[in-house]
Amino acid sequence: MYINLSDLKEIGGRKNVSLELEFPDLEFVDRDIKIKDSVQLDLEIYNTRDSFVVKGILEAELILSCSRCLKKYSSPIKLDISEDVMKSEMEDEEELYLDDIIVDNIILSLPMKPLCSEDCKGICPECGQNLNEGECDCEVETVDPRLAKLKEFYNDNE
C-alpha cells in the first residue's frame, strides 16, 4: 500500500491519514498469523529534512495458534507506531510504502509463546487429548532425563 506524499513537499509539513486495509495473512518462523477482517491505521506523517516521520496507531485482530493446546484463538492488538523512513532509502519521495511498516510492527508485537488463556492446560503428551476440554486416563510420569539413572537405584531390591 502506497500513500501519496506529493502534497507534503515542504519541510515541517504534516499529513493525517486514516485507512482501513485488507491485509494478507503472514507467516513468521513457521507460525501462521491470520489477520481477521482488516487493519485500521490512523497516522500522522511529518516531513523532515532527511526523513518522513510516521506516527500513529495500528489496530487489528489476529488469529493465532496456542502454543500449549494448538487451538486457534483471536487476539486483538492496538499498537503505537513510530517510524523514521529515510528519504535516501525511498524509491520515490512522493510515495510512502506502508506494507513493511505494518508487517514489522505486527511481528514485533507477537508474544514469544502465544496462549489462548493464562490457565491453558495444553494437550496430553501420551494421547493428545486437549486437557482444557477434559481429563484423559493416561498416567504421565515425567522424569528429568538427568535423574533417570537414580530411578533405577531405588528399584533394586538389594
- For residue 156 the three cell numbers come to 533394586
In this structure, are 95 and 142 located in the same domain?
A: no
Mean predicted confidence (pLDDT) in 19-26: 84
- Model's pTM, two decimal places? 0.75
In this structure, are 125 and 114 located in the same domain?
A: no
122 dihedral zone (left: phi>0; alpha: psi -120 to 50; beta):
left
In this structure, are 78 and 109 located in the same domain?
A: yes
In terms of Cβ atoms closer than 10 Å to its own Cβ (0-12, 13-18, 19+), residue 146 is: exposed
Neighbouring residues of 137: CB distance < 8 A, sequence distance ≥ 6:
none
- Domain region containing 28: 2-120
Classify residue 145 by its DSSP letter. G
Name beta bridge partners: 156. Answer: none
Separation between Cα atoms, residue 47 and residue 5, nearest integer Å: 9
Domain tally, the chain: 2
CA atoms within 13 A on the CB side of 60: 28
In this structure, are 82 and 149 located in the same domain?
A: no
In this structure, are 10 and 27 located in the same domain?
A: yes
Select the more confidently predicted residue: 105 or 8.
105
Name beta bridge partners: 31. Answer: 28
Q: Over the stretch 70-124, which tens digit does the pLDDT of each residue have?
A: 999 999 999 999 988 888 888 887 888 888 888 889 889 988 899 999 999 999 8
In this structure, are 112 and 128 located in the same domain?
A: no
In this structure, are 39 and 100 located in the same domain?
A: yes
In this structure, are 129 and 96 located in the same domain?
A: no
In this structure, are 113 and 153 located in the same domain?
A: no
In this structure, are 129 and 51 located in the same domain?
A: no
- DSSP characters over 77-116: EEEEEEEEEEGGG-S-TTEEE-HHHHHHHHHHHS-SS--S
In this structure, are 16 and 29 located in the same domain?
A: yes
In this structure, are 68 and 142 located in the same domain?
A: no
